[in-house]
Amino acid sequence: MAEASVSKIALVTGGGTGIGRAIALALLKNAYTVVISGRRLDVLQRAANELSAETGGMAHAFAADVGDPQAVSALFSTIRRDFGRLDLLVNNAGMGLPAVPMEDITVEQWNAIVSANLTGAFLCTQQAMKLMKAQTPRGGRIINNGSISASTPRPMSAPYTATKHAIAGLTKSTALDGRLFDIACGQIDIGNASTDMTAKMSGGVLQANGEIAPEPTFPANLVADAVIYMAGLPLDANVLTMTVMATQMPYVGRG
């Protein structure tokens, strides 16, 4: 008799809303058991209940500030205890600021964005590498949420742009350091996926020429489709970088 298939285990940070929620939904529809993390337990638990009911899958909520090493350690200890392994980490958690002149950005604002966008991705990657190296079967996949800002900045976005450029470096370092251990790492650079965060774009956002202009968006489930494609590859194949964007959004030169 054939063995029953074992669900793969995925962690999606920032999984309670927006792009993270769309990714979690797609993974559940593709037979993953999904842990969603974020800072607000009530939002996470509501999302987990809704996602489980919609898909018939198993979504689990765990509150954790990814910029806090102790919280991240506790998150991965729970995954190790409850599931014994991790097949996929999606580093999606992050934050930004409204357009602010560089000289007006406070150190507190800078540190908050670096913590959420960069330190959080590093800490989760670090813990995932430890678990993926030790588990049997060995290995796994890490997918980072980049941005068009990983290569081309918006005006007045220095902290966000700096962290997203750094994510590109973290992706490459992780892919290099992980390849001997069957750990693949790639990045999806997203341009204007439709979420609550991008809702203001239809009313106009600052452009590189100083004008305020509306920008088109595209459905967030298309990002989730890209994650499913990348996650479905065998571990001896990898998508290092992929850009998914609204066709008509300003991109090259931001104008």
Q: Is 89 left (phi over 0), alpha (psi -120 to 50) or beta?
A: beta
Task: Let me know: does 217 contact 192? Beta carbons within 8 Å.
Answer: yes
Query: Which residue is catalytic, options 32, 160, 229, 251?
Result: 160
Residue 37, strand partner residues: 13, 62
Determine whether 160 is an active site residue: yes
Task: Let me know: does 186 contact 228? Beta carbons within 8 Å.
Answer: no
Provide the 10 A C-beta neighbour count for residue 212: 10
Which residues of the chain form beta strands (DSSP E)?
8-13, 32-38, 59-63, 88-91, 140-145, 183-191, 193-194, 205-206, 212-213, 218-219, 241-245
Active site residues: 160
